[in-house]
Amino acid sequence: MPQIRRTNYAELDNPIWHALNGPHRHFAEFIGDAHWYPSRIAPFIAIPAAAALPDLNGAVDCGFRDPAYFVGVLPDTLPDGWHVVSRSLILQMMPAPGASPAAPDDADIRALGIADSPSMLALARIAFPDYFRERTAELGLYLGIFADAALIAMAGERLALDGLQEISGVCTHPDFVGRGCARRLTHALLRRHRERGVMSFLHVSEGNAAARRLYESMGFVMRASLPMAKVERINGVAERIGP
């Protein structure tokens, strides 16, 4: 199937919202304008527009646990009892037009399953202590590379929007960095996305220069720089975080 190509991906400006109101709607929990993933899957919450006041206290009553991360669209105001822990920028990248994944080099790559969950969590905690949760792997396909039965590198799929699939959780154990594992796993996912007819995208911290260089060398280009806010509960008053 040919890969879907578009000139406008405006929904990626608010990716969590469009994932939870699109292909991932079966995961979505919500109250009012706030939509979020179950906390054992991912720490992300979203609103349709900055003017919306998310009922974070109501979300907690429904089982959501903080901290929470807003990506792309941040609320102008938080409810009483919440504050911003940190603000940052993440770079959203997509393959450049005409870019093609490398030839298959998958002999030691295999799909990860439920039995691999403890190893995936242990590896992810080295690189993504906040983002990868007990059930994150339910969001899509995860691939791994092993050495002596130990998981040393993985990459997988997280956000899914109509015609779009995020590559995420790309990490390598520090003892095995420099062997090309992340590159090969990412190319393996790119090939699968092309076969499915979906466009790949990914996010990388603005300060992660090494990861950005890796993805640029693979043909990724920056689509946007998105704001991200980490919020959690306090005993205080609402804080304005928008422009």
> Mean pLDDT score of the chain, rounded to an integer?
91
Within a domain: residue 1?
Answer: no
- 81 with 97, same domain: the answer is no
Mean pLDDT, to the nearest integer, of 186-190?
96
Q: Name, in order, each residue with C-beta under 8 angstroms of 178's C-beta and a sequence gap of 6 or more.
A: none
Q: Would residue 4 count as lying in a domain?
A: no
CATH of the domain at 195: 3.40.630.30
pLDDT of residue 236: 44
- Are 32 and 148 contained in the same domain? no
Residue 182 lies in a domain: yes
| Domain residue limits at 42 | 10-89+226-233
Residues 85 and 96 in one domain: no
| Stronger pLDDT, 241 or 21, i.e. the higher one | 21
157-179, pLDDT tens digit by residue? 999 999 999 999 999 999 999 99
Q: Are 139 and 65 part of one and the same domain? A: no
- Is there a single domain that holds both residue 41 and residue 132? no
Share of the chain above pLDDT 70, in %: 93
pTM assigned to the model: 0.91
- In this structure, the answer to whether residues 70 and 184 fall within a common structural domain is no
Looking up tokens 């179950």 gives: 38
Q: Same domain, yes or no, for 70 and 174?
A: no
pLDDT of 237: 44
pLDDT band at 83 (very low <50, low <70, confident <90, very high): very high
In a domain, 128, yes or no: yes
pLDDT at position 6 is: 61
Mean pLDDT of 36-43: 96
Classify residue 242: in a domain, yes or no. no
Q: Which of 96-100, 114-118, 162-166 has the lowest mean pLDDT?
A: 96-100
**Helix-helix angle 181-196:209-217, to 10 degrees:** 50
Q: Are residues 62 and 84 in the same domain?
A: yes
Confidence tier at 5 by pLDDT (50, 70, 90): low
Give the model's confidence band at 46: pLDDT under 50 very low, under 70 low, under 90 confident, else very high.
very high
Question: Parallel, antiparallel, or unpaired: how do β-strands 142-147 and 34-36 relate?
Answer: unpaired
Q: Which amino acid is at 203?
A: H
171 within some domain = yes
**Cβ proximity of 165 and 199 under 8 Å:** yes
